[in-house]
Each structure stands twice: as structure tokens, then as C-alpha cells.
Structure 1
Amino acid sequence: MASSRSILFLSISMVLLSSVAMATDHIVGDDKGWTVDFNYTQWAQQMVFRVGDNLVFNYNPSFHNVFKVNGTLFQNCTFPAENEALSTGKDIIPLKTEGRKWYVCGKADHCASRQMKFVITVLAEGAPAPSTPSPPPSSDARHVVSSVFGVVMATMLATIAIFA
């Protein structure tokens, strides 16, 4: 029989691993990245964003940037001073709070005419997904964390079953 100390350790490990494994890196635009003439609104509608997730913007910094803006700036395709732009070409934005978040490209007419803008709604960590989300497009990168989590959980359950 397993000792109570082993069961306690496994229980704590499962809780810690589940919170880490549940976070998702959302690659904006999937394989296309952050570029012109891609429907980011449609892309965002297929995702579920939670506190603890990250948005990852991949793009050529010579041609694009990223601004976090409010709803009014988003609708008007206006943005703050250039020095507030994210411009590394591989920007990671942690989603730390729930609520609506708006993102635009501030280069040329990319926001107004080339569809480089989108809005998301970030849910609380444990909140259920919206009732009728569209299935997300298949992407190996998005499912790596879920697969690892499944393997770890199956291993832990098998260990408990063997020693119980």
C-alpha cells in the first residue's frame, strides 16, 4: 500500500502540473504569423483565451509592429506614440487579466485597410469556454502542452493504481 506521504506528494504534483500545463501560447495567425491580408478576427473567434495564456506575435519588424490599444483606438485604427509599439518581431504578451483586449499594427495602412487588427476576450483561469465555440484550426504547436499534460496525468494515475 502507498503511504499517505506518497499520495499527498502525488496529489500536490497533479495540482501544480495541471495549472502549468493548462496555459497556452497562442501563435497569432498560426503559421502565417502577424502579416497583412489575414483575417485575425476570424482567427481570434476560434480561440479560447484565459488568464495565464500568452499571445505570441511573429513578424518581420521592418514591416510590422504591435500596439495594445483600447476599444476606441481599435475602431478608429489609431494608436499611441511609436515608442509604445512592440517591435521585436517575436513579441510575447502575457494575458494577466480577464476582459477585452485590442491589438493593431501601426505601420502604414495595415490596420485600416489590410486587416491587421483583432480583439479578444480573456476568461478567468478556471472559467468554462463559451457555449458554442467554433473548433480551432489544427495546429501541432497549440496541442503540445495538452499532449504532455495528458501523458503526465496518465502516468500519475497508473502510479497511484499500482501502489494503492
Structure 2
Amino acid sequence: MAQGRGSAAQLGLALGLLLACLLLGADVAAAATYNVDWSFGADSWSKGKNFRAGDVLVFSYDPSVHNVVEVDAGGYSGCRESGTKYSSGNDRVTLGRGTSYFICSISGHCGAGMKMAVTAS
């Protein structure tokens, strides 16, 4: 008799874990990949798009003339390199919740509009 109750409890636990995995998997499956137009005027690229935590930004560019630096708000507004620097020319960045800021740290590029802020819910 005790074995039967244990089996039902184990089955309930297994079903609960399965449901949790499905719900978590649904959130991951909903993540989108965006190809960023990483060029001068990039600051307008993200306008009108709805981003979620887990979405992936793909920055494609010529690494001999540009880079991508993930900065804080001060680095974004002041065009100062203050964070993680990417320079492969095909960089993938997964968004967290909140606002992420990106600039090109090559002299004069950020000031000419090669920067963007992306807010993910």
C-alpha cells in the first residue's frame, strides 16, 4: 500500500518537473535573433522593435574598421569605452532584462551615431 502512494507522489513530482521544463523551454524557444545594421545611424535601428531578455543580437561588420563595445549608460551618452569589447565582425550578444548600450569605440564613430540602446523586457 505504501508503495502505491509513493509511486503516485513520484508520478506527481515527475509531472510537475516536466511541466516546469516545458514552461521554461517555451520561454527559451520564444527568443528571437536580430541581425543588427551596425553602421552609422545605428541608433535608430532598434526603434519600434520589442526585445525580450534572451533575445540575441548579431552584429555583423568589417572588423578592420569597426567594433562593438557593450557599455554602461555613461559610456553610451559620453561615447566612452567602458565595458566588454567585441571585434570578430560577427558578434552575438544575448540580451538581459533592462537596457543594454552599445557603441563603436573607433575614434569619431560613436559621435557620428554608431551607437544604440536596446531595452528588453
Q: Which residue of 1 aligns with 2:101?
A: 102
Q: Decide whether aligned partners of structure 1 residues 79 and 16 sit closer, same or farther in structure 2, where only a CA change above 3 A counts.
A: closer
Q: Provide TM-score, normalisation by structure 1.
A: 0.56
Matched residue count: 104
Say if 2:72 and 2:82, in contact at 8 Å, map to a contact too: no
Which residue of structure 2 lines up, in the alignment, with residue 71 of structure 1? 73
Q: TM-score, normalised by structure 2?
A: 0.74
1:19 equivalent in alignment to 2:18 = no
Q: 1:120 aligns with which of 109, 118, 121?
A: 118
Mapped to 2, the partners of 1:73 and 1:26 lie a distance apart of 23
Indicate the residue corresponding to 1:141 in structure 2: none
Code of the aligned partner of 2:89: G
Percent of aligned pairs with the same amino acid: 33
Secondary structure class of the residue paired with 2:64: coil
Unmatched 5+ stretches in structure 2 = 1-14
Which structure shows the bigger proportion of residues in helix conformation? Answer: 1
**Equivalence for 1:93:** 93
How far off is 1:17 after superposition?
5.7
The Cα of 1:18 is off from its aligned counterpart by 3.1
Q: How much has 1:41 moved relative to structure 2? A: 2.5
1:112-162 CA distance string (max 9 Å, x none): 12x100111110xxxxxxxxxxxxxxxxxxxxxxxxxxxxxxxxxxxxxxx
Query: Is the CA contact (8 Å cut-off) linking 2:97 and 2:120 kept in structure 1?
Result: yes
Once the two structures are TM-superposed, the CA of residue 40 in structure 1 deviates from its matched residue by 2.2
Shift of 1:106: 0.6
Unaligned runs of 5+ in 1: 1-7, 124-164
Amino acid at match of 1:24: A
Which letter does structure 1 place at the counterpart of 2:47? Q
In structure 2, what is the Cα distance between the partners aligned to 1:20 and 1:100? 19
Structure 1: which 4+ aligned runs deviate by more than 6 Å?
Answer: none
Q: Please identify which structure carries the higher strand content.
A: 2
Match of 1:48 in 2: 50
Q: Deviations over 1:9-28 (max 9, x none)?
A: xx959746633431101111
SS in 2 for 1:85: strand
Shift, 1:76, TM fit: 1.0
Distance in 2 separating the partners of 1:105 and 1:17? 34
